[in-house]
């Protein structure tokens, strides 16, 4: 069943093309990624990427929390090449802390392409910084 997009077909196609160009600019081949055999997977314990001591001090004292959506570019070597915030409550401290820590601590097994070799790919999750117990979750 196809959805008739009517007048929205051209603007949505333009939006898709814009998103594709952005991802290509990050060094990810979308055609390869769409045919990948497996997605990138964390190679180290995600629960160790963040510690209670990492909670931004000002936000912790204020009892503030934040949800930060991140999109990572994972290279063929499994290293995080780029961290991009795609969603946030607007608190720069949570955004900057999230990306800094992921860039420092996260390691991945790279995505595997259709030919069985590692490829650059994307990995996206949300990090929920919660006040009080200074805990977080990666969703």
The pLDDT assigned to 132 comes to 64
Structure tokens at 32: 């390869």
Which CATH number fits the domain that encloses residue 63? 3.30.2420.10
Cα→Cα distances 21→58, 83, 116, Å: 37, 17, 25
Residue 8 lies in a domain: no
User: Residue 25: inside a domain, yes or no?
Assistant: no
| Domain coverage including residue 85 | 31-138
**What is the dihedral angle through the alpha carbons of 113, 118, 120, 124, rounded to the nearest 10 degrees?**
80
Residue whose tokens read 């314990």? 45
Assigned token pair, 25: 């600019």
How is 75-111 classified by DSSP, letter by letter? -TTS-EEEEEEEEE-S-HHHHHHHHHHHHHH--EEPE
Distance between start and end Cα atoms, the chain: 31
pLDDT by residue for the chain (139 residues), tens only, comes to 677 778 888 888 888 888 888 888 888 888 888 899 999 999 999 888 988 888 888 877 777 888 899 999 999 999 999 999 999 988 999 999 999 999 999 999 999 999 999 999 999 999 988 876 545 566 5
Q: Does the reported pTM lie above 0.85?
A: no
Domain annotation covers residue 100: yes
Contact between 108 and 85 (Cβ < 8 Å): no
Report yes or no on 111 lying in a domain.
Answer: yes
Q: How many domains does the chain have?
A: 1
Helices and strands, counts by H and E, the chain? 4, 8
Per-residue pLDDT, 133: 58
* 76 contacts 1 by C-beta, under 8 angstroms: no
**Does a structural domain hold residue 4?**
no
């Amino acid at each position: 069943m196809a959805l008739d997009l009517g007048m929205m077909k051209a603007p949505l196609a333009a939006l898709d093309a814009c998103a594709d160009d952005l991802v290509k600019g990050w060094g990810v081949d979308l055609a390869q990624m769409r045919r990948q055999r497996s997605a990138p997977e964390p190679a180290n314990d995600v629960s160790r990427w963040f510690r209670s001591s990492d909670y931004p001090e000002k936000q912790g004292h204020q009892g503030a929390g934040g949800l930060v959506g991140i999109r990572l570019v994972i290279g063929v070597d499994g290293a995080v090449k780029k961290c991009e915030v795609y969603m946030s409550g607007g608190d720069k401290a949570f955004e900057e802390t999230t990306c800094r820590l992921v860039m420092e601590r996260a390691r991945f097994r790279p995505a595997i392409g259709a030919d069985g070799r590692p490829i650059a790919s994307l990995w996206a999750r949300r990090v929920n910084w919660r006040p009080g117990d200074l805990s977080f979750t990666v969703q």
